[in-house]
């Protein structure tokens, strides 16, 4: 992220803060504000000078995050959530200047410091710096790889960069942190239940920690409570091969019942399928690939989250034995899961339940992840979540319907059964002599690499030498290229706005409002400014305008499943008046078909959903939609088929 002109950010911040009311008594005094502004200006100059001098970017990010913390809170008066935030911001300014001065001398003592330390990384999503906290116990032997607990926090409506970084400056909670392991706390871009770029934040924070600290990758535990519990279920079951163990307390694991009172009625038909992306209960059987603790207090409504997972497992055939309030899997080696209930307990961990969880996790983490198990069972509803150990689901017969793979190997033989899978990539098959998929033999060539690329055509599975060959000619939905619109914002993207006047004034105004709302929401709720300059050719392109106002839209139009003239819009087999409607879509970018092109849309939810329950952050429009220019309401929406409608 480039150094930001304070005047510009303050103006933007005041705009984006308008959705919440600043509390007057919490605002910094005139003297404090002047001190904060001077600190931010000075730190901004130092960051720019360090960048110009060629400071290594990982170290620069560790300094720049302090500058960002000041800029963001000064730009949004609402974010002085408590009176102490002004004082904390001054503390952050001083700490940032101290780091900058050290880096100017070629020093970076925080990278070797013990205790709780604030670090940062530069996100591939938008080029922003994002914080994370690392705790290194005083006596821990950091010369060899150590267990790592990755902590994802619960919802905190007062969370921002200042309050997050202040935890490290004040060593908040250090006395209660374990002395026998590393611990990292993810920021998650504040409060989004670790969805979209919030999900990517957890993975990037983990990646950054592994770069800077000796982590035993076989002994990483994911832990969260409340919103962190929801994130734990989601991340734990979507990426089950990353974790030696997962502890999820409370939270939510599905949308329809949990958010029933706040969902639109009736629910548009195109919204229900995409709920399968983040409804963790749909992925419950992925618990077979890791060790999992589910927890809820007996008197906590969010106990339902773990009940949902347990009941889904039991409906699938798993057996759990009740022990008082708890549920224990009776010694089944392939399913290491316990579901704990805190007696007479509300929205917190009961001490006895916590002790049981700690003992279970200790055993599981000590055992560690087997990076290449002989049996894999994996369920997904989207190729956004496609891999589990040596099994990759590269294509589905039908997106957002349950797809399952059961794979085992022994004595040179691999046996696989599939449901709703059209392409399957199997790793580590170089020594296999026999392969059967869905009961039928698949011929393996004598000379092959370690991956078998399999595709099902006409009901029969065939081996292919490459992924491209397995996918065949034309466009197909596949991992990282399956939609819906919101999927583009989990990875690197760049926004290109209109450069001139459009065909229709009302449509132009509607598009400008959508771009403005996207920028405001992204700044406020996802803690970054929209990237407007291409950082790499690998970015998704997000284009706003019409073929008259945006040359990049005009150049791509004949390669999109969209007809758009001054008079009419045609998509999804329907025609609309171009003077009163706005088309939005996601599609493989004609300029680089392994990346997305998004038209006239940011996230398909907005401020009311960000301020409400995190369960509302699900896609609203599918792969394409046509909106009324007057109010932005979708008059049609849907999904492209597995061949992107071609």
The confidence score (pLDDT) of residue 2 equals 37
Cα distance between residue 286 and residue 574, in whole Å: 40
Residue 139: CB atoms within 10 A of its CB come to 7
Residue ranges covered by each domain of the chain? 387-471, 485-638
Say which residue, 501 or 364, is predicted with more confidence: 364
List beta partners, residue 115.
Answer: 136
The four Cα atoms 595, 598, 602, 604 give a dihedral, to 10 degrees, of -100
| Cα 38 versus chain centre, distance | 35
Mean per-residue pLDDT, 389-401: 98
Reported confidence tier of residue 14, pLDDT bands at 50, 70, 90: very low
The confidence score (pLDDT) of residue 259 equals 95
Q: Which of left, alpha, beta for 169 (phi over 0: left; psi -120 to 50: alpha)?
A: alpha
Mean per-residue pLDDT, 305-324: 96
List beta partners, residue 338.
Answer: 293, 328
Place of tokens 């022994």: 410
pLDDT at position 164 over 50: yes
pLDDT at position 54 over 60: yes
**Comparing 9-13, 164-168, 363-367, which segment has the lowest mean pLDDT?**
9-13
Residue 25: CB atoms within 10 A of its CB come to 8
Reported confidence tier of residue 536, pLDDT bands at 50, 70, 90: confident
Q: What is the DSSP letter of 473?
A: S
> 337: part of which helix (H) or strand (E)?
strand 336-342
Reported confidence tier of residue 331, pLDDT bands at 50, 70, 90: low
pLDDT at position 221 over 90: yes
Say which residue, 143 or 535, is predicted with more confidence: 143
Cα distance between residue 221 and residue 177, in whole Å: 14
Cα distance between residue 492 and residue 123, in whole Å: 8
Tell me the pLDDT tens digit for each residue of 58-104: 999 999 999 999 999 999 999 999 999 999 999 999 999 999 999 99
> Who's near 525: CB < 8 A, 6+ residues apart?
189, 190, 191, 192, 607, 610
Mean per-residue pLDDT, 551-560: 97
Mean per-residue pLDDT, 135-162: 97
Say which residue, 531 or 6, is predicted with more confidence: 531
Say which residue, 598 or 18, is predicted with more confidence: 598
On the CB side of 65, CA atoms within 13 Å amount to 27
Reported confidence tier of residue 332, pLDDT bands at 50, 70, 90: low
* DSSP result, 278-320: T-GGGGGGGGGGSEEEEEEETT-GGGHHHHHHHHHHHHTT---
Mean per-residue pLDDT, 332-359: 95
Q: Starting from the edge strand earliest in sequence, which strands make up the sheet with 568-571, in order? A: 563-564, 568-571, 574-577
Mean per-residue pLDDT, 289-294: 97
- Average pLDDT score, the chain: 95
Q: What is the pTM of this model?
A: 0.95
pLDDT at position 3 over 60: no
Helix-strand-coil split of the chain, %, nearest 5:
35, 25, 40
Reported confidence tier of residue 500, pLDDT bands at 50, 70, 90: confident
The confidence score (pLDDT) of residue 5 equals 39
- Contact of 493 with 533, CB cutoff 8 Å: no
Dihedral over Cα of 367, 341, 192, 185: its sign? negative
Query: Residue 322 phi/psi, 5° resolution?
Result: -70, 135
pLDDT at position 15 over 80: no
Crossing angle for the helix pair 84-104 and 161-169, nearest 10 degrees?
70
| Cα 435 versus chain centre, distance | 35
- Give me Rg for the CA atoms of the chain: 25
Cα distance between residue 222 and residue 350, in whole Å: 19
Percent of the chain with pLDDT over 90: 92
Cα distance between residue 97 and residue 118, in whole Å: 14
Residue 298: CB atoms within 10 A of its CB come to 14
Cα distance between residue 135 and residue 597, in whole Å: 40
The confidence score (pLDDT) of residue 10 equals 31
Tell me the pLDDT tens digit for each residue of 631-642: 999 999 999 999
Closest CA to 88 of 166, 22, 170: 166
Tell me the pLDDT tens digit for each residue of 297-311: 999 999 999 999 999
């Amino acid at each position: 992220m480039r150094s930001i002109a304070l005047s510009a950010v303050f103006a933007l911040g005041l705009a984006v803060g308008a959705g919440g009311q600043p509390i007057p008594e919490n605002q910094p005094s005139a003297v404090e504000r002047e001190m904060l502004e001077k600190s931010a200006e000075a730190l901004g100059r130092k960051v720019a000078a360090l960048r110009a001098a060629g400071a290594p970017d990982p170290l620069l990010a560790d300094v720049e995050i302090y500058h960002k913390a000041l800029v963001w809170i000064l730009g949004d008066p609402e974010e002085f959530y408590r009176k102490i935030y002004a004082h904390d911001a001054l503390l952050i300014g001083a700490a940032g200047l101290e780091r900058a001065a050290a880096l100017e001398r070629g020093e970076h003592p925080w990278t070797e410091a013990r205790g709780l330390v604030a670090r940062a990384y530069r996100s591939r999503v938008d080029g922003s710096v994002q914080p994370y906290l690392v705790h290194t116990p005083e006596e821990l032997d950091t010369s060899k790889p150590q267990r790592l607990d990755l902590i994802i926090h619960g919802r905190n409506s007062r969370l921002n960069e200042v309050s997050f970084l202040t935890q490290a400056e004040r060593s908040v909670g250090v006395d209660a942190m374990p002395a026998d392991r590393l611990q990292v706390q993810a920021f998650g871009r504040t409060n989004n239940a670790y969805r979209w770029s919030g999900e990517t934040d957890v993975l990037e924070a983990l990646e950054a920690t592994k770069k800077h600290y000796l982590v035993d990758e076989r002994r990483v535990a994911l832990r969260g409570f409340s919103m962190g519990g929801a994130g734990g279920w989601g991340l734990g079951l979507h990426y089950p091969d990353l974790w030696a163990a997962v502890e999820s307390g409370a939270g939510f694991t599905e949308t329809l019942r949990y958010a029933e009172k706040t969902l639109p009625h009736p629910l548009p038909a195109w919204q229900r399928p995409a709920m399968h992306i983040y409804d963790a209960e749909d992925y419950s059987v992925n618990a077979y690939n890791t060790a999992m603790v589910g927890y809820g207090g007996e008197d906590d409504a969010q106990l339902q989250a773990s009940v949902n997972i347990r009941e889904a497992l039991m409906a699938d055939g798993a057996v759990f034995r009740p022990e008082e309030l708890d549920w224990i899997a009776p010694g089944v080696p392939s399913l290491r899961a316990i579901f704990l209930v805190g007696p007479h307990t509300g929205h917190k961990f009961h001490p006895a339940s916590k002790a049981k969880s700690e003992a279970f996790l200790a055993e599981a983490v000590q055992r560690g992840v087997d990076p290449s198990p002989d049996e894999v069972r994996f369920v997904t509803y989207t190729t956004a979540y496609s891999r589990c150990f040596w099994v990759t689901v590269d294509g589905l017969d039908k997106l957002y319907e349950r797809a399952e793979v059961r794979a085992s190997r022994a004595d040179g033989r691999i046996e696989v059964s599939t449901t709703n899978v059209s392409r399957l990539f199997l790793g580590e098959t170089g020594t296999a002599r026999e392969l059967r998929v869905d009961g039928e033999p698949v011929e393996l060539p004598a000379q092959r690499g370690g991956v078998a690329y399999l595709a099902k055509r006409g009901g029969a599975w065939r081996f292919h030498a490459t992924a491209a060959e397995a996918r065949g000619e034309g466009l197909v939905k596949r991992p990282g290229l399956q939609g819906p619109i919101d999927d583009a914002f989990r990875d690197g993207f760049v926004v290109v706005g209109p450069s001139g006047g459009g065909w229709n004034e009302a449509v132009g105004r509607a598009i400008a409002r959508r771009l403005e709302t996207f920028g405001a929401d992204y700044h406020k709720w996802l803690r970054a400014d929209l990237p407007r300059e291409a950082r790499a050719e690998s970015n998704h392109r997000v284009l706003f305008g019409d073929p008259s106002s945006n040359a990049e839209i005009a150049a791509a139009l004949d390669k999109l499943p969209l007809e758009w003239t001054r008079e009419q819009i045609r998509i999804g087999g329907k025609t609309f008046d171009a003077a009163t409607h706005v088309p939005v879509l996601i599609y493989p970018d004609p300029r680089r078909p392994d990346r997305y092109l998004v038209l006239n849309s940011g996230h398909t939810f907005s401020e009311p959903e960000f301020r409400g329950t995190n369960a509302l952050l699900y896609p609203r429009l599918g792969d394409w939609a046509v909106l009324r220019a007057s109010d932005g309401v979708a008059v049609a929406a849907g999904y492209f088929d597995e061949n992107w409608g071609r």
